[in-house]
Structure 1
C-alpha cells in the first residue's frame, strides 16, 4: 500500500486536487452522513489542506485553520477519511500530519477542534481533551476539544 501526503495552501492546490478534496468532503459529510449544509464557507481560501493519498487516490484530508479565524487557537477541521479505507489507520495518520503541520505552519500553541461526539475516543487518544458542552451542528452532536501545546 503506497501512502503519500501533501499539505498546500488553497492557492497552491491544482484544480484536480481541489476537485478531489471537495468531492471527498461531499461524499462523506453530505451523502454518507446525510447532512445538508454549506461546506463552502469562505474559510478554505485562508487555510492549509492536508491530503493523504493511497495509490494516488485521495483517501483522507483535513483543513488547518489559522489562529483567530474560527477560534482563538489554531484549529483542525473538515477531517475525513473515505469509507473504503476506514479501519486502516488513515484517520490517525491524517490527524498526526495535521497536528505536525499546524505546529510547523502556525508555530507552537494549542489546537482546537469541533469533534463529532462519536469520535471522542479517537481524538482523546491523540491528546485532545473536551472543552465545553456538547452542541448540535447540522443535526450531529459535537463537542469542542483542545490539544494543549507541549510548551503551554
Structure 2
C-alpha cells in the first residue's frame, strides 16, 4: 500500500477513472457541492495517490507554477472517510511538498484551503494570505508557503 506519483499521461485508464470517481465522491457528493470537478488542469498536473487493494484512499493534485497560480500549488486533497484519523493526510501533504521542492525545484506553494483546515496547513508552514471567502458555498482562505 505505497504512494504513487504520476504525470497525467502516465496514469492508466483505470487509475484515472478511479481518481476522478473518488474526487467527485468527496468534493461534489460528500460536500454537496455541484461544480465542475474536471476543470482542465489535470493534464498539466502530477497526481499523488495511495491505493489499498486497487481503491484510491488518498490523493492530491500537484500543479506546477503557472497552472493555477504564479506559484506551484496543491489541490483536490482528500483522504477517504474510512481512512481518516490515521496520519495519512500528513503523509500525503509531506510527500506533495517534498515533490514540489525536490523535483519541481519550487520554493513557494500557494493553496486554496477550506477554512476549517487552516490549522492543519499552518502545521506545515503555510500562512493565511486572504480573508475567508465563499468558494462554491464553502468557506475558504488562500494560504502561502515560502521556503
Alignment of 1:56-95 (within 5 A): 56-95=54-93
1:17-68 CA-partner distances (Å, limit 9, x unpaired): 1011011101110111000000111100000000112344310000011101
1:139 aligns with one of 137, 140, 143: 137
* Structure 2 Cα separation of the partners of residues 42 and 90 of structure 1: 27
What is the match of residue 124 of structure 2? 126
Q: Deviations over 1:70-99 (max 9, x none)?
A: 111000011011001011111111111110
Contact 2:72–2:106 (CA<8 Å) still a contact in 1? no
Does residue 1:31 correspond to 2:29, yes or no? yes
Structure 1 vs Structure 2 CA RMSD: 1.1
Runs of 4+ in structure 1 deviating by more than 4 angstroms, as ranges, are: none
Q: 2:10 matched to 1:12?
A: yes
Name structure 1 gaps, 5 residues minimum. Answer: none
The DSSP-based 3-state class of the residue aligned with 1:61 is strand
Could you tell me which runs of 5 or more consecutive residues in structure 2 were left unpaired when the two chains were aligned.
Answer: none
Shift of 1:147: 1.2
Alpha-carbon distance between aligned partners in 1 of 2:12 and 2:57, rounded to the nearest angstrom: 17
Report the 3-state secondary structure (helix = DSSP H, G, I; strand = E; otherwise coil) of the residue aligned with 1:16.
helix
TM-score by length of 1: 0.92
How many residues matched? 147
CA-to-aligned-CA distance 1:99-144 (integer Å, 9 cap, x gap): 0111133213111110000111111111111111222110101001
Contact residue 59 and residue 90 of structure 1 kept, 8 A? no
